[in-house]
Structure formats: structure tokens, C-alpha cells
Structure 1
């Protein structure tokens, strides 16, 4: 079964492109007026992973823009892999589209980039951020050992990926299966290798202590989160003196917007709609 990007009736997105140093970055946009909200996906996905989240917020008065990150979807691959440098590239793209302050939601790799944007790159132009089970550390030696697992399906046919994904993820909606299969067909392996072995060894946990904007850290359940326990302990220390709320999405795996959509939205909606979120 195939799905159009306008799967949610009444809220079809528009496809746009912004060029940074000649490299096209593609994004989907829902809505035309309201608070700007930028969504950043995880590795080997693309903008359409937000097919339920984006229209839900567009219906509540947000202008939602979900990017295909470099080397994914319809966006060009780039020779930039460090998280802070990717954030700088995204900052330029966002500023070309929306010069004012934005809200941010990022998942996994996109959560790491969102953290960099909120803490380092554009703190004066982020109104609030939500980090969905973000990647916070990378060791290239470990990265090399998992590349093939994460890259599984890249370049395969959509039908082949659909069959595998449906078997591996029986709880996913058919639309999530299709969009992920399509994302894998478009994903460039160079982008995956860039994250896991080409971005150096990094630990983003100290960046939480630099946050000055309200930030929601939304975790998967303890046996599924990619945030290590010792890193989470350090983030709790930062949260005592910085505007950070730490929550767990009930029943969520790392792929939380796919398997626990209602629980994720139960956390995101009050966070996004509050004039000034209560913390923690």
C-alpha cells in the first residue's frame, strides 16, 4: 500500500527547497501563518516521518516545516558530519525561510542537531525545543560496528523494505512502514557513515548545561532509550539549574512517534501550547 504526503485529510503539506552553498535542502511545510515550528528527523528517515505530528500542530496554529536532513529524502548529501557544523548549516537554511524565533522538535540524530541549535548556534532564535530520545554520544569504533545495521535497506526496493519493516515492526502503522521504506530508498549511505564514523568522537551532554531556552527531553522507556544512564544522570544535574524538563513517553521505544504516538503527543502538545512551560 502507498500513501500520499497528504495522508491526513485537510492538512496536505507543500514541498519547498532552500539552497545553502549550492546544496538543495528540501522540506515539507504545513500551514502558512502562526508560530514557526521546525521538525528534524533521525538517521535514515526523512521529513515524512512526521506525517501525524506535523498536521496535528498545524491544526493548532503552527507553521510546521519538516526538513529532509542532508543525504536524506530529496536533500543533497553534504561533506559536513559534525553535529555542530550540521546545526550551523541548518541554521542558515532556517534563517533564509524564517528570520524570527522558532520552536524545535528533533528525534535521535535530529534531536542532537536540535540541541546544538538551541544551546550553541541560535539560542536567541529558539523559543523552545523538544528533544525526542536524542543521540548524545558517538564513538567511531562503536559506530563502525553498527553502520550495517542502521544502513540495512538503503538502496533496496520499496517493496522489499516494506516486507522487512512490516515483519520487524508489527506495531507500526502501514503509513510509517511505507514512509520508512521510501526514506531508505532515497537515503545516501555516505550520510549514515558520516554520522557513525565521520563525525568524530563526541559527547553532547555538556551542552545541556548551556541551555537557556525551555527544553523538553522526552525519553523512550528505560530499556529502549539511546541516552545512557550516566549521561542522563548528568542531564538531571543540569536540569536543576537550567530550563530543562525530563519526561518519559509511556510505552515508547526509540522510534517513539511511530509506536507511541498518543503518548508522545500527550507530552508534546501541552509543552508546545503553553505560553511559558512550567519546569521541571
Structure 2
């Protein structure tokens, strides 16, 4: 189900697109991860659009912003989030992010005064020496292709996904440059160990739900245990059998967890 699209400007004048599903209810704002785009939230938006107003936008280097490969710092990503919130013009009830987008949501939640944050297998910490092998290597060959050849490669790489998710990958990756992914690592100092959100999460001031993949998680067991000790406002749940892309493979469970969390947070 395609949403209603409108354009807005980021702080540096870059034109972006925000998409909305649903016309009434609490605001649910979604931030996608690497190699995805706003359209990667379409299936989830379909589950919430009868009760929420769901919004999603493209991050730099992805989807409609494939040609914008900088700045790629987390600080810039949070500023782009702030621009999206200004466009919505209302408080965000649930800020939802996956992977890299989960990192942006965790950092941006307090900045935009979100009422709650949900992070799906967010990148809490990147161990030096792992970013290239984990995030860049598999994409280099695909992104060297062009035109229809690249599209065919994308569809083949993600052949097991739901058709809507496959089309979202085409939107995200058709014009992407490997420079965008490299920039996320380089500009955030991953090789110097600077991608580490633990200090920012200690004493987190907003109700927070973190859903951790049971398999292939980007969160180490030690960090998962640490997150679970961050106080009553932080809820950590592991979805057994789920890979990193929880909202694709285990959508029903993710929707259930978000709805349950929302009832707890907004019960008054």
C-alpha cells in the first residue's frame, strides 16, 4: 500500500521525500537502515495505518537520496530526522528505527522529544575492523553493476523476501553508490572505535524498547546484557529465530511488541 508522498528540505537545502500512511491517530515515525529506504516500511505501515499516522523518509545515500553521499555522520542523520519532524509538525509518539536507523532513533529520540523509542536490532557499537567485512564487502560487486543489470542483481540477491520488500530494495539500491556505505563507516570513525552509543544510552530518559535478533544480531551478547541493566525505562526483548532484519522476517511479532509497548507507555 503506497502512502501519500510530499517533499521537504533538509537543513542544507537537500530536497527529500516523506511518505505517510494513515490519516489519524498517534504519530509513528520510521527510520530505515543501511541498504533500505522509506519504502522498506510499507508492510509495517499497512499494519498500523488504521490506528496510527505512519511516516517514513529516505536517509542520505539511499532511495531518492542515493546521489547525496554526505555528510554521513550520525549527527547529520539526527539533524535530518529533526527536519522530518518539523515537516510533520506534531510531536512523535513512537520513533522507530532499524539497524543504522535504530542508532539514529536512539540518538535522536531525546533531541526531538519523542514520547517513546523503539529500536530494531540497532547498531550500538561497531568493533574496529568489522565494518568493512560486515557492511561493505557484500555490496561492492552489486553496486558496480548498472541499470537493468543491477536491478536484476538486486532482485536475485533478495529473492526470498516478500515482493513488497524486494521492490523496496530496488528503490533503495538502484542508484546507490558504495561511497554512501563507506562514508557511514569512515565519517563516524568506526576504525577508531568511535561508534559506541553506550554512554548515550546510560540513564536513557525516554521509554525505550529494543528488539534484538535471536540470530545474526549486530548487538553482542555482552552489550545485550548491558542494555538489560539500564533501568525500568529500557525494555530489551530477543526475538528467537529472527535474523537482523526482524521487521521483514518476523513482522507479526514486531507489530505485536510495538503495540504492547505502546499500551504500556500510553496507558494513562
TM-score band w.r.t. shorter chain = 0.7 to 0.9
Between the aligned partners of 2:40 and 2:74, the Cα distance in structure 1 is 21
- Say whether the 8 Å CA contact 1:37–1:65 is kept in structure 2: yes
Query: Structure 1 residues 152 and 117 mapped into 2: Cα distance closer, same or farther (>3 Å)?
Result: farther
- Say whether the 8 Å CA contact 2:69–2:179 is kept in structure 1: no
**Which residue is equivalent to 1:54?**
45
**Which residue is equivalent to 1:3?**
none
2:252 to 252, 256, 262: 262
Pair 1:212 & 2:214 matched: no
1:184 to 136, 150, 173: 173
**Structure 1 position 277, deviation (Å):** 6.6
Pair 1:128 & 2:116 matched: yes
How many aligned residue pairs are there? Answer: 257
Q: Deviations over 1:186-208 (max 9, x none)?
A: 32322211112221122012222
Pair 1:28 & 2:19 matched: yes
Between the aligned partners of 1:85 and 1:161, the Cα distance in structure 2 is 28
Pair 1:143 & 2:134 matched: no
**Structure 1 position 151, deviation (Å):** 4.6
Alignment gaps of 5+ in structure 1: 1-5, 7-11
Between the aligned partners of 1:96 and 1:19, the Cα distance in structure 2 is 9
Between the aligned partners of 1:277 and 1:150, the Cα distance in structure 2 is 44
Query: Structure 1 residues 139 and 25 mapped into 2: Cα distance closer, same or farther (>3 Å)?
Result: farther
**Which residue is equivalent to 1:233?**
225
Pair 1:276 & 2:266 matched: yes
Instruction: For 1:74-89, list aligned pairs within 5 A.
Output: 74-75=64-65, 77-89=68-80
Q: Deviations over 1:69-90 (max 9, x none)?
A: 1111113525222223321231
Alignment gaps of 5+ in structure 2: none
- Higher mean Cα deviation, 173-182 or 197-206? 173-182
Between the aligned partners of 1:24 and 1:210, the Cα distance in structure 2 is 35
Q: Deviations over 1:50-104 (max 9, x none)?
A: 11111211112x1111111111111352522222332123113312322424321
Between the aligned partners of 2:174 and 2:76, the Cα distance in structure 1 is 26
**Which residue is equivalent to 1:39?**
30
2:186 to 183, 187, 197: 197
Between the aligned partners of 1:48 and 1:152, the Cα distance in structure 2 is 23
TM-score between both structures, scaled by the size of structure 1: 0.84
- Give every structure 1 segment of 4 or more consecutive aligned residues whose post-TM-superposition deviation is greater than 6 Å: none
Between the aligned partners of 1:210 and 1:187, the Cα distance in structure 2 is 37
Between the aligned partners of 1:152 and 1:212, the Cα distance in structure 2 is 42
- Say whether the 8 Å CA contact 2:100–2:123 is kept in structure 1: yes
Between the aligned partners of 1:195 and 1:115, the Cα distance in structure 2 is 16
**Structure 1 position 19, deviation (Å):** 0.5
RMSD: 2.2
